[in-house]
């Protein structure tokens, strides 16, 4: 019976893995398919005539004539510029939000001040507020501050904290041994010195976890950058791909070009997860969250 249960668990995991990865595989498969074969081979698992031309034209390495000869729509996308904008947008949010959430989490875990439990309860209650509820107030505030189409306006609503990150880091700081912090205080460090020189270096695992999850969330964010960063100088990849699809002058969308752009846009985050994935797993073991 135990062997049957183990095999059943592995079977369920295998099915879940296939269901999770298949959309990514189909995206890459469509990107490698010539536009002329897209509908003819719509049910095939592998493209009959795989080609890299869709990636080349998304990267701007083909002429307009070559693009149309390959079945492209003729729409253009400045991929390098929008990639840089996405890196700046997600990098600012991930770096600053992680740092500020670490400060808040440490304050709730170690510092004693009036109303601490009440304030922490309010932060946790904010988890129940859907982000869409704050979208319009944030937009009005950013517009009144004249920050539309600026990176500051794009990152302003999320640059300080998120309730989950504060809770996650607080749980880890509670698990740190107090003896190390007491030794740092005996050496003359105040609360900031203990946090900066002792607690923060010991929290690299959880900090990487929050940094990774925040980066992935910001990288795939679409609605807020669409509202606030509509101009070329602040347009991120997710918005740019939507504009690329809408600009297709043909009667049917340029699906092969869109899937090539989507595949390229996933690669930076995928590489980041591969290089830092082990740290992510290790930090979950030390976070105190079961």
**The domain containing residue 191 runs over which residues?**
79-232
pLDDT at 51: 87
Higher pLDDT, 230 or 103: 103
In a domain, 180, yes or no: yes
pLDDT at 49: 84
In a domain, 217, yes or no: yes
Condensed to tens digits (0 to 9), the pLDDT of residues 234-251 reads 999 999 998 888 876 655
Condensed to tens digits (0 to 9), the pLDDT of residues 65-108 reads 676 666 666 677 889 999 999 999 999 999 999 999 999 999 99
CATH of the domain at 200: 1.10.3720.10
In a domain, 149, yes or no: yes
pLDDT at 63: 73
What distance in Å separates the CA atoms of residue 234 and residue 236, rounded to the nearest whole number? 6
Contact 57, 72 (CB under 8 A): yes
Q: For residues 198-217, give the mean pLDDT.
A: 90
What distance in Å separates the CA atoms of residue 82 and residue 62, rounded to the nearest whole number? 18
In a domain, 215, yes or no: yes
Contact 47, 272 (CB under 8 A): no
Contacts of range 61-70, beta carbons closer than 8 Å, 24 or more positions apart: 70/34, 70/35
Strands in the chain per DSSP E: none
Cβ count near 57 (within 10 Å): 28
The residues near 152 (Cβ < 8 Å, ≥ 6 apart) are: none
In this structure, of 62-71, 117-126, 143-152, 157-166, the range with the lowest mean pLDDT score is 62-71
Please say if the pLDDT value at position 118 is more than 90.
yes
In a domain, 181, yes or no: yes
Please say if the pLDDT value at position 45 is more than 60.
yes
In a domain, 16, yes or no: no
Please say if the pLDDT value at position 289 is more than 50.
no
Q: Please count the structural domains in the chain.
A: 1
What distance in Å separates the CA atoms of residue 7 and residue 3, rounded to the nearest whole number? 6
pLDDT at 163: 92
Condensed to tens digits (0 to 9), the pLDDT of residues 15-38 reads 999 999 999 999 999 999 888 788
Please say if the pLDDT value at position 288 is more than 80.
no
Tokens of 41: 């081979």
In a domain, 59, yes or no: no
- Any idea which residue has 């998120």 for tokens? 162
- The secondary structure of residue 44, as a DSSP letter, is -
In a domain, 277, yes or no: no
Q: Which of 147, 135, 154, 144 is nearest to 96 (CA)?
A: 154
């Amino acid at each position: 019976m135990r062997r049957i249960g183990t095999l059943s668990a592995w079977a369920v995991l295998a099915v879940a893995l296939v269901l999770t990865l298949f959309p990514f595989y189909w995206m890459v498969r469509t990107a490698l398919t010539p536009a002329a074969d897209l509908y003819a081979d719509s049910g095939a698992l592998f493209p009959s005539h795989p080609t890299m031309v869709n990636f080349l034209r998304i990267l701007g390495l083909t002429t307009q004539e070559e693009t149309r000869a390959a079945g492209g729509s003729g729409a253009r996308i400045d991929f390098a510029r929008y990639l840089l904008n996405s890196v700046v947008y997600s990098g600012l949010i991930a770096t600053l939000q992680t740092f500020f959430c670490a400060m808040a989490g440490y304050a709730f875990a170690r510092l004693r001040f009036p109303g601490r439990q009440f304030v922490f309860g309010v932060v946790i209650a904010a988890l129940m507020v859907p982000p869409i509820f704050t979208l319009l107030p944030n937009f009005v505030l950013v517009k009144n501050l004249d920050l539309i189409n600026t990176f500051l306006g794009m990152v302003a609503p999320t640059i300080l904290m998120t309730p989950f990150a504060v809770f996650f880091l607080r749980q880890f700081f509670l698990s740190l041994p107090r003896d190390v912090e007491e030794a740092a205080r005996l050496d003359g460090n105040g609360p900031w010195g203990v946090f900066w020189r002792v607690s923060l270096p010991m929290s690299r695992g959880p900090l990487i976890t929050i940094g990774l999850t925040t980066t992935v969330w910001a990288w795939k964010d679409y609605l807020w950058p669409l509202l606030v960063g509509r101009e070329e100088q602040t347009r991120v990849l997710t918005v740019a791909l939507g504009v690329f699809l809408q600009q297709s002058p043909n009667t049917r969308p340029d699906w092969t070009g869109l899937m090539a752009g989507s595949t390229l846009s996933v690669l930076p985050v995928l590489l980041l997860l591969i290089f830092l994935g082990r740290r992510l797993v290790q930090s979950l073991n030390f976070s105190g969250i079961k």
